[in-house]
Amino acid sequence: MPEGITQKVRETANDLGEFTMDHLEETIPVKTLKELRAARNAIRRLIRNNEILPAGPDRYRYQAAMRELSKRARMWRAMRIKGTFTQKDIMRLTGASRPHVKKYVRYLRRQGLVEAVAGQDYVRGLYRLKDPDNAPLEHPKVVGEA
């Protein structure tokens, strides 16, 4: 799970403030050698993306950057902030294509996270999150595709 380990690296670097690379590698909560390798790759990625910046000789600091979200993450976030929405709203806010929005809404309905309020079609079909207060922060991944 590259995103998972990258997030761990981000959190650890953020908690440390300023750090040396050795200190960062020691502090990241990893259990296996494979995870450590993935963490080292993640560190390299974060340096490339200017999220880990030099802060003196052999010292680095974490600098949060505006990260790109996946289309599904955007759609899920748009649904969370709208609460009640049409497929058109989600397309407008995220720039996702119409079939992509339709497919994801259908998947979320099957998962019981979204329910139809009125209508069915693209413009008038109104949907809402079933339990907005407890809707997960991370977007539900489509099983078999993610």
Partner 1 sequence: MKDLVVPTENLQGFASVAEALTTKPERLDRMGLIFGKWGLGKTTALEWFFANHPCFYVRSMAAWQRSANMMVEDILAAYRVEARGRLKLDVRELVRVVKKHGVPLFIDEADRVVRRAILIETVRDVHDLSRVPIILIAQEDVMALLGRRDMGHILSRITEKYEFRELSVRDIQRVAPALCGLAVGEKVGPFIRKVCLGDFRLLNAFLLRAEELCSYNKTSEITASIAKTAAEAVIGPAERAREPEAERPEAQRAALAAAG
Q: Which residues bind partner 1 (CB under 8 A)?
A: 10-11, 14-15, 17, 63-67, 69, 74-75, 77-78, 81-82, 88, 91-95, 133-134, 136-137
Q: Shortest distance, CB of residue 75 to partner 1, whole angstroms?
A: 8
Minimum distance from residue 137 beta carbon to partner 1 (Å)? 6
For partner 1, give the closer residue by CB, 14 or 37: 14
Residue among 8 and 39 whose Cβ is closer to partner 1: 8
Min separation Cβ 34 and partner 1, Å? 25
Instruction: Select 37 or 111, whichever has its Cβ closest to partner 1.
Output: 111
Concatenated DSSP letters of the chain: -HHHHHHHHHHHHHHHSEE-HHHHHHHS---SHHHHHHHHHHHHHHHHTTSEEE-STT-EEE----PPPPHHHHHHHHHHHHSEEEHHHHHHHH---HHHHHHHHHHHHHTTSEEEEE--STTT-EEEESSGGG--SSPPPPTTT-
